[in-house]
Amino acid sequence: MGQLRFDDRVVIVTGAGGNYPSLGRVYATLFAQRGAKVVVNDLGVGPDGRGIQRAHADVVAQELVDAGGEAIANTDTVATEEGAQAVVQAAIDTWGRVDAIVNNAGVAPLAEFDEISSLDIRRTVEVHLMGNIWMCHVAWPHMQAAGYGRIVNITSAAQTGGRYLTIYGAAKAGISGLAYSLAIEGEAHGIKVNTLGPAALTTATTHMNDPSKFLTLFENNYHAEQVAPAVAYLAHEECAVSGRYFEAGAGRVWNRYFCDTAGYTNAELTIEDVRDNLETILDRAGAQPMADPIESSKATEYAFRPKPYQPA
């Protein structure tokens, strides 16, 4: 089996202009090294959105070109429909197509829920969740027309909960939900959509955290280069899966999924039944993975058939 390459493929990586070690920057570099034409997108405001630690899409793009690759820089925001349109259009205008997108852009102000500002709440949701939605929505018609596409939405383990990460985690959970449904719709068009939660030391990690055992652990064991191969595979034409949530860190790649417990059943369920059988409801022994979203959508007996959509 030969090397997986991206010759003649056009890949957009958002949030790819950060200083090393930046996950987006490392993703873009690997794609370029494997022959992809890369749109290096970054608004430039840095990991906390405040512009204290600037990002430079033009610098990264030039590095890729100097190393023999093909790349252009783009500094539009992904947080608006117009910005996302400009990002995708940059790929279309330059190379006439878009084959894969890595939705990596994001900000992560760390704060307790009772102290985070309204501005930071909006900014976090707009960049992460809406940024993914807009980028996918704008690129979708191009991929549908081509009968091919790969989308990798970068999520986070924070979606299952984390102190100081309430809004960030909520947005990241929305990204995973988006990918599950897009995978179903993309199946008929050759579009694969997956999510990946990376664990790596980055400039964002060091910028927003004080020294701790956590930071030392990441400095010694979790490197961006160990995550990039998993992202690149999910963006490759040989990727055979869709609608999956992966985690990657320290050289390990694994699949994380939901499970259903056996639970408790009573057709005449009462409030007291829930109280009295809570232990049974929560018992994880014998829990089963949730049904595959793509396969479930193909079931005919209980097929979901909405009325024709009327745009607002």
Other CB atoms within a 10 A radius of the CB of residue 144 amount to 16
Q: DSSP label at 21?
A: S
Long-range contacts of 62-69, Cβ-Cβ distance < 8 Å, separation of 24 or more: 63/29, 64/28, 64/29, 64/32, 64/38, 64/40, 67/32, 67/33, 69/32, 69/33, 69/35, 69/36, 69/38
**Which pair of structure tokens corresponds to residue 42?**
């970054």
Could you give the CA distance from residue 224 to residue 153 in angstroms, rounded to a whole number? Answer: 16
Tally of CA atoms within 13 A in the half-sphere of 261 that contains its CB: 12
Q: Please confirm, yes or no, whether 302 is among the known catalytic residues.
A: no
Which position among 27, 164, 168, 180 bears the catalytic label?
Answer: 168
Could you give the CA distance from residue 29 to residue 60 in angstroms, rounded to a whole number? Answer: 8
4: which residues sit within 8 A by CB, 6+ positions away? Answer: 34, 232, 233, 236, 238
140: which residues sit within 8 A by CB, 6+ positions away? Answer: 149, 191
Cβ–Cβ < 8 Å for 297, 184: yes
Q: Which residue reads 């068009």 in tokens?
A: 189
200: which residues sit within 8 A by CB, 6+ positions away? Answer: 21, 23, 218, 222, 223, 224, 226, 227, 249
The residues assigned a catalytic role are: 168
